[in-house]
Amino acid sequence: MKLKRPDVIVVGAGSAGCVTARRCAEMGLRTLMLDRKQRNEVGRKVCGDEISKSHFEATGIDFPGGDEISTVIAGADVYPPSMTNELKVRGWKDFDGWTVDRLKFGQRLLQEAIRAGVYFYPECHVKEPILRGDQVVGVAYKDLANDEEQRAHAKVVVDASGFAGVIRSKIDHPYIEDKIDKEDVALCYREILELDEPLSEPEVAQVFLGGKTAPGGYAWMFPKGSQEVNAGVGICGGEGRGSPRSYFSDFKEDYPLFNESSVKEASGGAVPVRRPLMSLVTDGVAFVGDAALQTNPIHGGGIGAGMRAGTILGEVAKEAIARRNPTAKGLWTYNTRYL
């Protein structure tokens, strides 16, 4: 069934997009969410897979459960370049949480959005915003399944399309950065590894610092069970660096835990590691998740920040539409409430 006159269009069905769309629907807004992936692929993403319990407590979203959970995390060991005298962090709520199966977690967020009343169109590639003057009033997209060009109009468009920012990159506004400096981007490579020996502390994440290991970033080892880990490297700083894959290869050789491990999955990506956009809104459009650069600039994690922002944005969109003012001014409280 098609939604003829949505109040809100959300571009992207990642964790930030699903939470935003769900909150919009819960607030009584007719909400359409588009994503270029097939429905059964929503949630699959290159990620460290770890998320803190505090983000669920802040948003009211149900904790991960069942087979969404890979393992419970109850602390972290942070290693300096010398690899000795590590900092052991225990009992700090920001480290209490889980590593999750991103696909299963993402599918659950999608189902919750649909149950709340969101109309979801998979296999739709959004190309650009539709403008009326400076106001965003909809999106142009291609229905990939039917090979058809389509247009949809709404009072508010939400760009939740990830770091690529398919809407953000086409907005001409001094407060909305369409291009991000290389120095503000971390390039990442990670592998899901099955270990030859069980972990001694399968509830403890490990983080490794140092210019030799990961210049401008860090390496990580996040347990996903007693003998499986998500391990990777993120580096940043612009030109003149090797590839994250090459740094990870060196890291594996130096770390005995990975001896005789087997690779179950390998992939790479890019994440913003800087402040959010100068403004998260302009006329008719708001930005959320990686599209808004809403990641932790220290470690690059963004699931929790996107969930928190999406919850706020759904409420602000309702207020702006109710006042018939879906402009930058009408949406501005999203900036103040998030920041």
Give the domain range for residue 82: 69-99+182-272
Is 70 exceeded by the pLDDT of residue 1?
Answer: no
For 128-139, how does the pLDDT look when each residue is reduced to its tens digit (9 = 90+)?
A: 999 999 999 999
For 283-294, how does the pLDDT look when each residue is reduced to its tens digit (9 = 90+)?
A: 999 999 999 999
Predicted model pTM: 0.94
**Non-local CB neighbours of 145 within 8 Å, separated by 6+ positions:** 122, 123
Q: What CATH number should be reported for the domain holding residue 88?
A: 3.30.9.10
Count of domains for the chain: 2
**325 shares a domain with 237:** no
**114 shares a domain with 33:** yes
Helices 15-26, 102-115: crossing angle, 10 deg rounding: 20
Q: b vs e for 199-220, b when ≥16 Cβ sit within 10 Å of the residue's Cβ? A: beebebbbbbbeeebbbebbbb
**135 shares a domain with 41:** yes
**33 shares a domain with 116:** yes
For 51-89, how does the pLDDT look when each residue is reduced to its tens digit (9 = 90+)?
A: 999 999 999 999 999 999 999 999 999 999 877 778 998
Is residue 1 assigned to a domain? no
Is residue 112 assigned to a domain? yes
**124 shares a domain with 20:** yes
Is residue 238 assigned to a domain? yes
Is 60 exceeded by the pLDDT of residue 210?
Answer: yes
Is residue 57 assigned to a domain? no
